[in-house]
Structure 1
Amino acid sequence: MRNDWSGQSFPHPPGRRPLVGDVLGADPRKPLQSSLERSKGLGPIFELKIFDQKFVVVTGAELSAELADESRFEKALSPALEALREFAGAGLFTAYNDETDWALAHDLLRPAFTRDAMRRYHPVMLAAAQELFDHWDEATAPVDVSADMTKLTMETISRTAFSQDFGSFTRDEPHPFIPAMIAALRAGQRKGTLNSMPGASLMAKRIDKRNAHHQAYVDGLLDDIISTRRASPEVDDTDLLGIMLHTPHPETGARLDDLNIRHQILTFLVAGHETTSGALSFALYYLTRNPGLLARAHEEVDRILGPDRDVEPTFEQVAKFRFLRRVLDEGLRLWPTAPAYARSPRETTTLSSGHVMRPQDWALVLLPAVHRDPSVWGDTADEFDPDRFLPGHSRGRPTQTYKPFGTGERSCIGRQFALHEAILVLARMLHRYELTADLSYELSITERLTLMPEGFELGLTLRTPARVVGADATPAAAGQESATCPASSIDQPGLNATSHGCPSGSAKYPE
């Protein structure tokens, strides 16, 4: 994983010291945010040296778009993903490009995200959301938004992945799997953070020893679920586990073994719940700080769902919440919850910056910086403005400049799942509650595997939705919205441009 770039130098922050490099200017609790701050004035590519490890970081949209070229570049595993791999194994998110199980799992799981599959998940998502609202209806104090969004998305992904109900809103204490998974995951993250430090191997052994029982519990519970399902005479392929157990590759007949199935479930649990809960939390933060935007959101949900606050959106209605989709897109622009990814060249190449990059070199694309590049997003790039995703405003935007779900063939396979869930939950929440923010709260972001607002609370009051004349009709501003979207920034294989980065009702699913 040593990333020496054949000795080439890059701009770096002031204050570099011998041996420790750029450590002294970093915030160990918020390394990504401190890197974002330190990148200012260093140009589209810079470096951070942490002890003997070089991190080459791309912040410019043009150079980021170059690295997104799949004919020249491919996914690389950063130290953070190497650490996650120790917990989740060779799952879709953490597999090496040349591991055959990645392509097999990807092919087998594509049917799990078709439109028909999403229809099956829709009532599961509604049921989990209702448990959250039952919990919130009894609240007598402001609720911790990020904590509750995380419980919600964990319940949703666990039930759709392997039909497991963890009882996050009904148990007095969390299911033992949850704290064990969190502890094992944090142990891996600590090891990744320590990777470049002197004595890292010794500290890693100590971490492994202290957390071995957590990893063993997580692995054991999932292995028991997998073996029980495999031994069952009944074939149930309504969840991800069933698809992986019972579906052979359509061309080769190959199947995943039980170890890789466990890795895939862990990957979906970890990557699939924190990213969506973070996206929801950031969307709610920005909406509740802007009364005008909140009013527009209420108008949309009342028009589509009507005056009954208990009504649940149908599958078809979810795609109609175009303003809510723009709110989510804009929140993910400012704070993409999976905030960086690494890229390496397929063969030695020269970047437009003039640097020579070999297959063993990797660069981190820092998405919060790329998504704020004024050459693409203008002088208001730091401001929250959902209407920048209106088709008329998106048209002509340079390609490959909006990447909250990663890029290329290794981009997030579950992006449609995440967006459907997030829009559904946001619509029901805004339809049911008046949300009151503590205006003295200043956004604080915690960095786990993903980004998440910390200490963000909202007061709740049951609301009476407005009766909108001509409900579910085309909005007055429909001239700005169309059923198609230019979405020039999309390169997702097998998906129409309208499936991502675009607030239209014509999102496409894999066939």
Structure 2
Amino acid sequence: MASHNTASRSGGDTSPTNSATHSPTIPTPSFRLPLLGDLLSIDVAKPVQREMQMARRLGGIFERKIIAHRVIVVSGADLVAEVNDEEKWAKFLGLPLRKLRVIAGDGLFTAFNSEPNWGRAHRILGPGFSQTSMRGYHESMCAVVDELLTSWDHAAESGEYVDVGRSMTALTFDVIGRCGFGYDFGSFTRDAPDPFVGAMGRALEYVNRSSNDIPLLRTLFGRARRAQHDADIALMRETVARIVDEREASGDRRSDLLDLMLHTADPDTGERLTRESVVDQVLTFLVAGNETTSATLGFALHFLSSHPEIAAAARAEVLDVAGPDGPLAYEQIGKLRKVRRIVDETLRLWPAAPGYFRKVRADTTLGEHAMPVGSWVFVLLPQLHRDPAWGPDPERFDPDRFLPAAVRERSPHIYKPWGTGIRACIGRQFALHEAVLALASILRRYEIAPDPDYTLDVHEAITLKPRGLRVRPTRV
């Protein structure tokens, strides 16, 4: 996950100031106000999309200033390649991720570089995403996908539309719950959603809004929302603590992430995760594992419903590899190359995590701009993924951009939906396997028609998601 637009993204391991942003050669938005800076450029609801507009106008690097806070936004391919240099730059924890620490503590994505738990958890959990482990998760993933298909069958029979956001959230919550922690949220069997689901959605919305608004106004008028936010965090942490306690009390041993957290020692230090750290890591995966994959599936279904010829070609591939019915085997997922390219192209246009922060390790430069120690930047992924290096018409949905020959011709630094460096997303193979399996299963079973009155509305709440998206499934 990553941050959104606002100059109040300052802070981090040592809360450095962005002293390099005083360079007069870095473009800035128009109509900068005395004292208030670029206050007129704030879009609390859609900060990332506002920054994309600015990048199109100002170029691959620009500076924003809100009152006393500055941020440099980078999206040019050559500049991002420099920022991704691990010898000169490192991960920086921006304000939205720091705000998530009240939920996930020093989990894998919210830990400062100087904190030991992220490295310990990374080493302990690495085997949980090996090929052997992924094979073990496959059957549980298939079971949840079957429940999704059953729910869509009712809509297909009656000719109704399905709420894509709700369906994909239910799918991914149940997948990460069952595969990772042996917990069933029952999203397709309960009469009402698990309270955890609503609490998490509200909490992420609050983090996004409070990272992109004016603190004084939030203090004056946001007391009710803050109280709800505190209650949501408490519910989430209590739920996860109960999951952990029940597993420990049962004495069960399972081949999942929670078992690794509870029973595996760090191979480097011999230390195990504390109970508090286990709770933090479980929350990290429930938030990140759900949000990123559900968002990707939602955008992919939007594109497939809008491009029936691409959907038809992918369906033909699935039928050729797996036949018209029966479970998709683990080995078959890797053969669905057209479906995988659909996922990759979806992540190019609308990566679930809209960006990541980087800070300099020592005095350096970025392009022609001096970057002394304490400088940091935000990499704006949706705009990087629309860089001219992608060729003509980068706004067009075209999975063939990910044909092997095309991939070989491009710099790897212009496609970073999972972040970069040693702090990149540990669960990306899990997410990709889940996404390909789900899309392949849907395409094999249904033709997907769009709502003719719908225009893509990208909602921002830490991750990017299509809001209000409906499709109408028809059995093939």
TM over 0.5: yes
Q: Which residue of 1 aligns with 2:243?
A: 225
Q: Which residue of 2 aligns with 1:66?
A: 82
Q: Which residue of 1 aligns with 2:379?
A: 365
CA 1:361 to 1:204, structure 2 compared with 1: closer, same or farther past 3 Å?
farther
- Assess if the C-alpha contact under 8 Å between 1:48 and 1:55 holds in 2: yes
Q: How does 1:309-458 map to 2 (within 5 A)?
A: 311-358=326-373, 360-374=374-388, 376-458=389-471
- Assess if the C-alpha contact under 8 Å between 1:146 and 1:453 holds in 2: yes
Q: Match of 1:280, as an amino acid?
A: L
Q: Which residue of 1 aligns with 2:32?
A: 16
1:276 paired to 2:293: yes
Point out the more displaced range, 426-435 or 167-176.
Answer: 167-176
CA distance in 1, matches of 2:390, 2:343: 17
Deviations 1:303-354 (A, max 9, x none): 112133xx22100000000011111111111111101100001122122232
1:212 to 226, 230, 235: 230
Q: CA deviation at 1:105?
A: 0.2
Deviations 1:439-497 (A, max 9, x none): 3321111011111111111111111xxxxxxxxxxxxxxxxxxxxxxxxxxxxxxxxxx
Q: Which residue of 2 aligns with 1:489?
A: none
- TM norm structure 2: 0.92
Q: Secondary structure at the match of 2:215?
A: coil
CA distance in 2, matches of 1:183, 1:103: 29
Q: Which residue of 2 aligns with 1:499?
A: none
2:167 to 132, 138, 148: 148
Q: Which residue of 2 aligns with 1:509?
A: none
- Identical amino acids, percent of aligned pairs: 45
Q: CA deviation at 1:171?
A: 1.3
The root-mean-square deviation of aligned C-alpha atoms, in Å, is 1.8
CA distance in 2, matches of 1:185, 1:280: 19
Q: Which residue of 2 aligns with 1:470?
A: none
Q: Which residue of 2 aligns with 1:301?
A: 318
Q: CA deviation at 1:82?
A: 1.1
Point out the more displaced range, 91-100 or 207-216.
Answer: 207-216
- Assess if the C-alpha contact under 8 Å between 2:164 and 2:471 holds in 1: yes
- Assess if the C-alpha contact under 8 Å between 1:11 and 1:42 holds in 2: yes
- Assess if the C-alpha contact under 8 Å between 1:84 and 1:189 holds in 2: no
CA distance in 1, matches of 2:453, 2:227: 43
2:270 to 230, 253, 260: 253
Q: Which residue of 1 aligns with 2:6?
A: none
CA distance in 1, matches of 2:140, 2:449: 28
Q: Secondary structure at the match of 1:244?
A: helix
Q: Which residue of 2 aligns with 1:507?
A: none
Point out the more displaced range, 330-339 or 21-30.
Answer: 21-30
Q: CA deviation at 1:76?
A: 0.3
Q: Secondary structure at the match of 1:298?
A: helix
CA distance in 2, matches of 1:371, 1:181: 28
CA distance in 2, matches of 1:450, 1:262: 22
Q: CA deviation at 1:182?
A: 2.5
CA distance in 1, matches of 2:229, 2:460: 21
- Assess if the C-alpha contact under 8 Å between 1:180 and 1:215 holds in 2: yes
Q: Match of 1:348, as an amino acid?
A: D
Q: CA deviation at 1:205?
A: 7.0
Unaligned runs of 5+ in 2: 1-9, 12-16
Q: CA deviation at 1:101?
A: 0.6
1:82 to 86, 98, 110: 98
CA distance in 2, matches of 1:104, 1:352: 35
Q: Which residue of 2 aligns with 1:500?
A: none
Q: CA deviation at 1:409?
A: 0.3
CA distance in 1, matches of 2:224, 2:98: 18
CA distance in 2, matches of 1:440, 1:60: 35
Q: Which residue of 1 aligns with 2:14?
A: none
Q: CA deviation at 1:208?
A: 4.0
Q: How does 1:21-36 map to 2 (within 5 A)?
A: 21-36=37-52
- Assess if the C-alpha contact under 8 Å between 1:51 and 1:197 holds in 2: no
1:182 paired to 2:207: no
Deviations 1:235-284 (A, max 9, x none): x1412111100111224211000111111111111111111111111112
| Higher helix content, 1 or 2 | 2
- Assess if the C-alpha contact under 8 Å between 1:445 and 1:454 holds in 2: yes
CA 1:51 to 1:317, structure 2 compared with 1: closer, same or farther past 3 Å?
same
Q: Match of 1:393, as an amino acid?
A: A
CA distance in 2, matches of 1:277, 1:122: 17
Unaligned runs of 5+ in 1: 464-511
Q: CA deviation at 1:181?
A: 2.6
Q: Secondary structure at the match of 1:395?
A: helix
CA 1:181 to 1:455, structure 2 compared with 1: closer, same or farther past 3 Å?
closer
Q: Which residue of 1 aligns with 2:192?
A: 173
Deviations 1:142-200 (A, max 9, x none): 00112211111111111122111111111111112222233333333333334x63466
Q: Which residue of 2 aligns with 1:114?
A: 130
CA distance in 1, matches of 2:375, 2:107: 23
Q: Match of 1:219, as an amino acid?
A: R
Q: Secondary structure at the match of 1:92?
A: coil
CA distance in 2, matches of 1:382, 1:128: 33
CA 1:26 to 1:253, structure 2 compared with 1: closer, same or farther past 3 Å?
same
Deviations 1:13-71 (A, max 9, x none): 21222233223233221110011012223122101222322121001011001111111
Point out the more displaced range, 391-400 or 28-37.
Answer: 391-400
CA distance in 2, matches of 1:307, 1:185: 39
Q: Which residue of 2 aligns with 1:242?
A: 259
Q: Secondary structure at the match of 1:294?
A: helix
CA 1:27 to 1:204, structure 2 compared with 1: closer, same or farther past 3 Å?
closer
CA distance in 2, matches of 1:102, 1:413: 11
